[in-house]
Amino acid sequence: MSRKERDARRGRLEALRAAGVDPYPARVGPRESIASVRGRFSERDAESLEKENEPVAVVGRVVALRSFGKLVFATLLENGERLQISARKAETTPECFGFVKKLDVGDFVRVVGPLWRTKSDELTVDVREVEMLAKGLRPLPEKWHGLSDVEARFRQRYLDLLVNEEARRAALLRSRIVTAMRAFLDERGFLEVETPVLQPIYGGAAARPFTTHHNAYDQTLYLRISDELYLKRLVVGGIDRVYEIGRVFRNEGVSRKHNPEFTMMECYQAYADYSDMMDLTQAMVQSIAERAIGGSRIEFGGQEIDLAGEWPRIPLRDAIARETGIDILEHDALPTLRAACEAKGLPPGDAPTWGRLVDDLFSEHVEPKLIQPTFITDYPVELSPLAKRSTSDPRLVERFEPFLGGMEIGNAFSELNDPDDQRERLEASRRDLDAGDEEAHPLDEDYLVALEVGLPPTGGLGIGVDRLAMVLADAPTLREVVAFPHMRPRASSGEDAEEEED
């Protein structure tokens, strides 16, 4: 059992200590990255290496051991790159050979020695000096199948990252995506800012918040569900282009597309409208794809997606009409729209308002088909309390959502900057929600004051970074691109308690 293996490893750890070796030294001697060694020597043949006989020093984690009587091969892994090392009894000191013989898979070492090529032409460091950098006390997951237990992969992501190349790729890609997003916005003169995570009044989205408490002021605070109202205050304050990439929190269920905390990019541009923000969204995603994956063609869930070119802009009304044959503006009240659904043989469900029924129709019949990048535009005013009313139809607002891979990946509008209209709309939306109630927001009076001071005409955009990463990484669930996805706490009996004892 594992206890026995750990005892064996601990035995070797104590043996090192007894010999006066620190198994966890503070500093690492001179070394060259494995990538660099490979770069310098990958083209060199056996003879030339032997002639040169130049020692190299590399570090890494032992991920495989193949031991013979007087010869040991091991594979070192450092920053995603592998290199074989060997210890030959005839070519090195007895101490060094014995040390390598006693290594465990999982140990970190630094080795020094000349390069050679084996009979199978593998570039190999022939160890002349070796030192322990950190002793591993637990076995790594099985070398051939890796770690496939889904729960273990998420709860112990470090193991997943170590043995599953896919996990590593997703983590690196996500980082490149965020870097590219930031670079794109910086280049366009957007100022990166940070706004409060702890908010006395939450707003900017329809969602239930997490609630917490500040002891010093005996104050209830909420983890933000959106950055929107604070970022727009900064635009009121004269910062004409702002953005924030940060975590937001929604007290809701977990699914393939949902995590209770997720990363949102929100940006606001003064003197722009939602049409400008569509241009910006398209350019941003294309730029991110170019920088992060080097192209515009991707595969997501077995389907080809091309991010290049102009993305279609389809009014919500047309999109729903196309898929269901129902004109939502012809039936602009709940009872008539319900009747229209029934006439088409579509169950209208139990949506409490006209707006919600429109949303249901869209989610069910249109959204799953929006695989290629698409802007859906011109949403009902009921669904969008912070968006400016459409100039052509007062029942609509200047709002769009970008869709990709059958998922909404963002939300944007011409920001409502009429303080009186904003007050009415916030109050109306609160009345609407009064029935169900859970998402009713307290009115943010200070935000209304800010609007009275004056918000210029402004375009705003939010992008769900995790979802974008999910599509670009061709990941079937959000959790593949979130390093530590939300999990139910593990029942704390068993393992931990047992292990504390010894």
User: Tokens 């959204």 belong to which residue?
Assistant: 367
Contact between 489 and RNA per CB under 7 A: yes
Nearer Cβ to RNA, position 150 or 308? 150
> Looking at this protein, which amino acid is placed at residue 494?
G
Contact between 152 and RNA per CB under 7 A: yes
Least separation, in Å, of the C-beta of 365 and RNA? 12
144's tokens? 């051939």
Identify the three-state secondary structure at position 456.
coil
DSSP secondary structure code for residue 53 in this structure: -
Least separation, in Å, of the C-beta of 105 and RNA? 5
Contact between 337 and RNA per CB under 7 A: no
Least separation, in Å, of the C-beta of 214 and RNA? 24
Alpha-carbon gap, residue 251 to 205, rounded angstroms: 12
Identify residues 364-393 at the interface with RNA (CB under 7 A). Answer: 383
DSSP secondary structure code for residue 415 in this structure: B
Q: Which helix (H) or strand (E) holds 97?
A: helix 94-101
Selected binder of RNA within 43, 45, 47, 121 (CB under 7 A): 121
Least separation, in Å, of the C-beta of 38 and RNA? 13
Select the span of 24-32, 149-157, 287-295, 448-456 touching RNA (CB under 7 A): 149-157
Identify residues 220-279 at the interface with RNA (CB under 7 A). Answer: 250, 252-253, 255-256, 258
Torsion sign (Cα): 334, 335, 336, 339: positive
Selected binder of RNA within 199, 281, 411, 429 (CB under 7 A): 411
Identify residues 74-103 at the interface with RNA (CB under 7 A). Answer: 75, 84, 88-91
Identify residues 6-35 at the interface with RNA (CB under 7 A). Answer: 8-9
Nearer Cβ to RNA, position 93 or 118? 118
Selected binder of RNA within 19, 391, 488, 502 (CB under 7 A): 488
Select the span of 66-74, 176-184, 297-305, 441-449 touching RNA (CB under 7 A): 66-74
Contact between 147 and RNA per CB under 7 A: yes
Contact between 5 and RNA per CB under 7 A: yes
Contact between 468 and RNA per CB under 7 A: no
273's tokens? 């409208």
Least separation, in Å, of the C-beta of 216 and RNA? 30
Selected binder of RNA within 134, 193, 197, 206 (CB under 7 A): 206
Contact between 297 and RNA per CB under 7 A: no
Nearer Cβ to RNA, position 133 or 478? 478
Select the span of 22-30, 148-156, 181-189, 288-296 touching RNA (CB under 7 A): 148-156
Q: Are 406 and 368 in contact (CB under 8 A)?
A: yes
Alpha-carbon gap, residue 31 to 51, rounded angstroms: 22
Alpha-carbon gap, residue 76 to 57, rounded angstroms: 12
Alpha-carbon gap, residue 140 to 159, rounded angstroms: 7
User: Tokens 């494995």 belong to which residue?
Assistant: 34
Contact between 67 and RNA per CB under 7 A: yes
| Range 199-202 contact pairs with CB under 8 angstroms and sequence separation of 24 or more | 199/223, 199/224, 199/230, 201/441, 201/442, 201/444, 202/226, 202/441
User: Tokens 């790729």 belong to which residue?
Assistant: 169
Select the span of 59-67, 232-240, 265-273, 450-458 touching RNA (CB under 7 A): 59-67
Least separation, in Å, of the C-beta of 8 and RNA? 4
Alpha-carbon gap, residue 74 to 245, rounded angstroms: 42
> Looking at this protein, which amino acid is placed at residue 252?
E
Q: Are 84 and 123 in contact (CB under 8 A)?
A: yes
Contact between 319 and RNA per CB under 7 A: no
> Looking at this protein, which amino acid is placed at residue 64?
A
Least separation, in Å, of the C-beta of 147 and RNA? 5
Selected binder of RNA within 16, 21, 57, 65 (CB under 7 A): 65
Select the span of 29-37, 135-143, 210-218, 300-308 touching RNA (CB under 7 A): 135-143
CA angle 147, 149, 151 (to 5 degrees): 120
Selected binder of RNA within 15, 28, 150, 428 (CB under 7 A): 150
Least separation, in Å, of the C-beta of 142 and RNA? 3
State the number of binding residues for RNA (CB under 7 A).
72
Contact between 400 and RNA per CB under 7 A: no
DSSP secondary structure code for residue 485 in this structure: -
Contact between 42 and RNA per CB under 7 A: no
Nearer Cβ to RNA, position 16 or 65? 65
Contact between 499 and RNA per CB under 7 A: no
Nearer Cβ to RNA, position 190 or 400? 400
Radius of gyration, CA atoms only, the chain: 29
Contact between 145 and RNA per CB under 7 A: yes
Select the span of 27-35, 294-302, 441-449, 482-490 touching RNA (CB under 7 A): 482-490
| Range 61-70 contact pairs with CB under 8 angstroms and sequence separation of 24 or more | 61/106, 61/107, 61/108, 61/136, 61/162, 62/103, 62/104, 62/105, 62/106, 62/107, 62/108, 62/109, 62/136, 63/105, 63/106, 63/140, 63/143, 63/162, 64/105, 64/143, 65/103, 65/104, 65/105, 67/101
Q: How would you label 85-109 residue by residue, b for 16+ Cβ within 10 Å and e otherwise? A: bbbbbebbeeebbebbeebbebbbb
CB-based burial of residue 328 (10 Å sphere; 0-12 exposed, 13-18 middle, 19+ buried)? buried
Contact between 164 and RNA per CB under 7 A: no
> Looking at this protein, which amino acid is placed at residue 365?
H
Query: Can you count the helices (H) and strands (E) in the chain?
Result: 16, 20
